[in-house]
């Protein structure tokens, strides 16, 4: 199966032996239309269970599922021979998709490329709206859920914690965060183009999550005359209405209020179609065919696409906002370049750290073995020199230590450089050193690694 992203050269990442290779496999707004994304979307309350299911499918030691309106991805430490194929097979089975429907829509990143992708996604550099603020919070929550069901720890824990710090640095040191806008803000931008003046328009917001609250804030700033908040939980609708001076409406009572709305924005996650032609025909009649502007921010979509066939209805979904997003990206190009430079710097730094981890157990074992031999032979020599003074013993101690250090210096430097050059043979080279010097298997240097992490943060 071909993916939207090129596989390229495989850069193996094994921060601990037998943990597997770091990969990202998935689909996003770059590679798949909303019709496909909504079919594979995972509701927030099911993310943990889905992570466990996908971990088994990909034969992964660890896995975090990232599911948003614009992407479905897994970040995993896996030994699967073809993780893209395994991911595609699981989507086909679980979501009852035709296999051909996934062709060309999936991508796969390995090793360093996977690390770079994770950093970019967390920093909102891969979002439809560059700099949008929701993605980092979503990833943190989905990582938390994976960790809660023991699907993520160890290597992925360190990768995600670093990704969160990189995202914070990008938002602190560049204007991406200040210039970025949410999907909700893009929706208001689009509405402002459809209507010359929002000052005499009423906006209905269906859903009461973060997206609806952001949209309400932006529409109020843009001068919208009235706001109607519709939600299954009426208490939450009342809470938002009180905060913005709007009207609360329970979802089951929406139809009498539809004729009042010039703009209807829906952002109900995981609900599927909640409004269709039958809901709007009567509303348009009461409005005397005055047009209605619908913005569907839900994935799966909340509005039946058949609404596009009704005269007077103008329906836009998240993919239609891509044109607005492109304009935002152009205006933010300079800040984005600065952010990308930070990403590359952080990838290089953390990748080197991880590659050092790959050879650290071998280096520690080699040093320990050499020191053990030096100590035994020194004590044997000193037993043959019972009359040696303390000064003479100190000279022999220093000489033996210097010999060992000089002999080990070249091999150890070469091993570290091999790791940092990301040569494919680094693990084979480490194994050869272990065999040549008959080194015992060393325990993972987790304590040293965690200490290094703290020093870098």
Q: What residues are labeled active site?
A: 69
SS3 category, 73: strand
What is the C-alpha to C-alpha distance for residues 427 and 228, in angstroms, rounded to an integer?
A: 61
Q: Which residue has the tokens 């790791």?
A: 419
Backbone phi and psi for residue 359, each to the nearest 5 degrees, phi listed first? -105, -5
* Strand 263-266 relative to strand 247-250, pairing: unpaired
Name the DSSP letter for residue 17: T
What lies within 8 Å, CB to CB, of 274 at 6+ separation is 206, 251, 266, 268, 302, 303
Strand ranges of the sheet holding 21-28, from the earlier edge strand across to the other edge: 60-68, 71-78, 21-28, 107-110
Instruction: Tell me how far apart the alpha carbons of residues 126 and 129 are, in angstroms, rounded to a whole number.
Output: 8
> Beta-carbon neighbour count of residue 379 at 10 Å?
9
Q: Which residues contact 232 (CB under 8 A, 6 or more apart)?
A: 250, 251
Q: Say if CB 298 and CB 264 are below 8 A apart.
A: no
Distance CA 133, CA 117 (A): 17
3-state percent breakdown (helix, strand, coil) of the chain, nearest 5: 60, 15, 30
**Interatomic CA distance for residues 225 and 207, integer angstroms:** 19
């Amino acid at each position: 199966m071909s993916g939207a992203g090129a596989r390229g050269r495989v850069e193996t990442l094994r921060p601990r032996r037998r943990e597997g290779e770091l990969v990202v496999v998935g689909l996003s707004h770059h590679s798949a239309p909303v019709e496909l994304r909504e079919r594979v979307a995972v509701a927030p309350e099911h993310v943990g269970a889905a992570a466990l299911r996908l971990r088994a499918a990909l034969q992964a030691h660890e896995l975090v599922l990232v599911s948003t309106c614009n992407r479905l991805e897994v970040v995993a430490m896996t030994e699967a021979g073809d993780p893209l194929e395994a991911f595609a097979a699981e989507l086909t089975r679980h979501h009852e998709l035709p296999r051909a429907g996934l062709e060309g829509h999936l991508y796969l990143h390995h090793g360093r490329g996977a690390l770079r992708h994770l950093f970019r996604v967390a920093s909102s550099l891969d979002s439809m709206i560059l700099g949008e603020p929701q993605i980092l919070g979503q990833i943190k929550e989905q990582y938390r859920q994976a960790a809660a069901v023991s699907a993520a720890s160890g290597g992925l824990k360190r990768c995600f914690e670093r990704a969160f710090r990189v995202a914070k640095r990008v938002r602190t040191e560049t204007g991406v965060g200040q210039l970025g806008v949410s999907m909700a803000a893009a929706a208001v931008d689009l509405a402002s183009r459809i209507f010359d003046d929002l000052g005499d328009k009423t906006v209905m917001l269906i859903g009461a999550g973060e997206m609806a609250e952001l949209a309400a804030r932006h529409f109020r700033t843009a001068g919208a005359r009235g706001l109607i908040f519709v939600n299954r939980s009426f208490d939450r609708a009342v809470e938002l209405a009180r905060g913005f001076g709007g009207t609360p409406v329970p979802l089951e009572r929406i139809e009498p209020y539809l004729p009042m709305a010039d703009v209807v924005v829906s952002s109900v996650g995981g609900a599927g179609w909640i409004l269709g032609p039958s809901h709007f025909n009567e509303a348009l009649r009461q409005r005397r065919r005055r047009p209605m502007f619908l913005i569907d921010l839900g994935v799966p979509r909340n509005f039946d696409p058949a609404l596009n066939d009704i005269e007077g209805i103008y329906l836009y979904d998240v993919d239609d906002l891509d044109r607005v997003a492109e304009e935002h990206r152009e205006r933010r190009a300079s800040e984005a370049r600065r952010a990308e430079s930070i990403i590359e710097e952080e990838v290089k730094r953390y990748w080197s750290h991880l590659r050092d981890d790959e050879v650290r157990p071998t280096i520690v074992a080699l040093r320990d073995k050499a020191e053990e031999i030096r100590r035994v032979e020194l004590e044997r020599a000193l037993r043959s020199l019972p009359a040696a003074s303390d000064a003479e013993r100190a000279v022999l101690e220093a000489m033996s230590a210097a010999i060992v250090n000089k002999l080990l210096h070249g091999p150890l430097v070469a091993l570290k450089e091999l790791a940092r050059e990301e040569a494919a043979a680094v693990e084979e080279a480490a194994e050869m050193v272990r065999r040549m010097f008959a080194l015992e298997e060393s325990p993972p240097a987790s304590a040293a690694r965690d200490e290094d992490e703290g020093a870098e943060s």
